[in-house]
């Protein structure tokens, strides 16, 4: 663990339910992108370890995380806490009761574009021009997303992989997508002391 970092006493994160912050959890210090930041959305995740890894990924990259219910597991699952490690308290997580709630929330920001990563897309993600307020949407590990979700996506992208492979892990795909999007938009967080 790096010097000077104090992990939270318990896993809580900053779960936003209908835009209300859980009152007993202090908000983290945000970067220069406090009000304008990219988001990662997970559509009905099946595997708690993947959600935990997404919490850790989004906390480290200072991007928001949207969880679209129903999940295939309880959200307080121990595996989520274990996978999120001590990053849970740094994450900005919005919880949505369903697809309709998520879509309403995203469409409230006219600058937000819904970017669906899917094996059923025609455009590779590495040829796409990302914007700072994009929302990168990943489907369920077991089934992707239904046609209704495809219909609402502003753009659909795929990650080029070997013809012998069906797909890659959803969080590996999320990390690749976020990495390219943040690179293009100069959105990576700034470390004050990279040697600490």
> CB neighbours of 101 closer than 8 A, spacing ≥ 6?
none
pTM of the predicted structure, to 2 decimals = 0.80
Domain borders along the chain are 37-185
- Residue appearing with tokens 């912050």: 21
- The 10s digit of each residue's pLDDT in 10-63 is 333 444 433 333 333 333 444 434 445 899 999 999 999 899 999 999 999 999
What CATH number has the domain spanning 37-185? 3.40.1280.10
Compute the average pLDDT of residues 156-171. Answer: 96
CB 66 within 8 A of CB 38: no
Q: Is 73 helix (H, G, I), strand (E, B) or coil?
A: coil
Of 123, 127, 153, the C-alpha closest to 139 is 153
């Amino acid at each position: 663990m790096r010097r000077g970092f104090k992990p939270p006493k318990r896993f809580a994160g900053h779960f936003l339910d209908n835009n209300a912050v859980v009152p007993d959890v202090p908000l983290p210090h945000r970067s220069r992108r406090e009000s304008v930041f990219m988001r990662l959305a997970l559509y009905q995740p099946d595997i708690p370890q993947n959600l935990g890894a997404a919490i850790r990924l989004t906390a480290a990259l200072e991007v928001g995380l949207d969880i679209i219910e129903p999940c295939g597991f309880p959200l307080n699952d121990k595996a989520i806490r274990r996978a999120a490690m001590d990053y849970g308290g740094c994450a900005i997580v919005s919880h949505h009761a369903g697809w309709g709630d998520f879509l309403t929330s995203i469409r409230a920001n006219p600058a937000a574009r819904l970017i669906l990563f899917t094996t059923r897309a025609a455009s590779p993600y590495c040829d796409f021009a990302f914007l700072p307020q994009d929302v990168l949407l990943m489907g369920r590990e077991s089934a992707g997303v239904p046609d209704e979700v495809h219909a609402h996506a502003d753009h659909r992208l795929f990650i080029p992989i070997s013809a012998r492979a069906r797909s890659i892990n959803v969080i590996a795909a999320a990390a690749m997508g976020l990495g390219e999007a943040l690179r293009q938009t100069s959105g990576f967080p700034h470390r004050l002391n990279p040697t600490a």
